[in-house]
Amino acid sequence: MEKIRKKIFEMVKNEYEGIEKKKFIPGKTRVPVSGRTYDYTDINSLIDSALDFWLTTGRFNASFEEKLSKIIKVKNVTTCNSGSSANLLAFSSLTSHLLKNSSLKPGDEVITLATSFPTTVNPILQHNCTPVFIDIDIPTYNIDCEKIEGAISKKTRAISIAHTLGNPCNLDKVLAITKKYNLFFIEDCCDALGSQYDGKHVGSFGDIGTLSFYPAHHITMGEGGAVFTNRKLLNKAIRSIRDWGRDCWCETGCDNTCGVRFNWKAGDLPHGYDHKYIYSHLGYNLKITDMQASVGLAQIKHLNKFIKSRKANFSKIYNNLKDLEEFIILPQATDKSDPSWFGFPISLRKNKHFTRKDLLEFLMMIK
């Protein structure tokens, strides 16, 4: 089998390198806003996992989680099937019975930003908590930290915010507030893989961080996401809720790693009830396949190159629009941050020459 793999890998490499690249013609060739970027190494990694024919999470997923944890410098990484699911897992874990009196309850208030993707907010509503929206600051497009304390009440229990389009929020101010009021902090980093604040990766500051691996994001595995935390108890809750809510922590394909699978006493269940089939959370099945993980494992090797390209693209757009600041507000990186930009937001100043609709129609016409 090993010889066959090597032969297939070589054939894919030769075929990929032999494909004639389409010539870019300025003013004519369409420049996509986003999309997958890959080479033969990504294809071969996918083929490698397909030849294993292990159809759920396996060795590629374990390697991906380990590599991602080293990059972000967090202790625990759990993959899932999307960034939206990652946000759901992150918030659900804060409602876990494992946290006892500290867990979030229905009616608790959660501070979040008014301009974000809906699945940053949806889990708050799904758990019958109340989102408290704070407006953004322009030109960073992040939550206006000066308004957070004024929105805190006796019911406030957490802050859940995204680093908008890869631009880190002011983490010094947010962390000071979470510490002062003893609040949980979820960092939605779905748009911000590789972004840093004060020399540390975003997602490593709060209680939990999340990522998305949809094709438009920094790396992709088609569909996919990840949740990460340095807190052992939260990690246990995250992995349980991802895997149907089961109490057992054995990886797929493994049994009785605790050595006492048939010697547990859980609640009112009979003594010795099979621990593998005890479910202690309201859970889901949000795992990825090993084939998805194999693509992510190959993609993560390109991450530094991808980040470098994103920064170069951002600088190019910024410099070319600099002369138009009479009409538009250009984005600005947060102090102490080093963004891995996901997009280039523009706000239009009031002027007599063109409207927002005019600008949108112009951009659509020349795309």
The secondary structure element, H or E, covering residue 14 is: helix 2-18
Active site residue 271: no
Active-site pick, 163, 217, 218, 281 = 217
| 357 phi and psi angles, rounded to 5 deg | -60, -40
56 has pLDDT over 80: yes
- The CA distances from residue 216 to 95, 259, 280, in Å, are 31, 44, 36
What was the pLDDT predicted at 367? 65
- pLDDT-based confidence at 297, cuts 50/70/90? very high
Distance in angstroms (rounded) separating the CA atoms of residues 338 and 68: 19
What is the CATH number that goes with domain 47-245+280-299? 3.40.640.10
366 has pLDDT over 90: no
Distance in angstroms (rounded) separating the CA atoms of residues 36 and 16: 15
Q: Are 236 and 249 in contact (CB under 8 A)?
A: yes
- pLDDT tens-digit map of 352-365: 899 999 999 988 88
204 closest CA partner among 224, 187, 225: 187
What was the pLDDT predicted at 347? 95
Q: Are 229 and 209 in contact (CB under 8 A)?
A: yes
For the entire predicted model, the pTM comes to 0.93
Distance in angstroms (rounded) separating the CA atoms of residues 343 and 165: 5
| 80 phi and psi angles, rounded to 5 deg | -155, -175
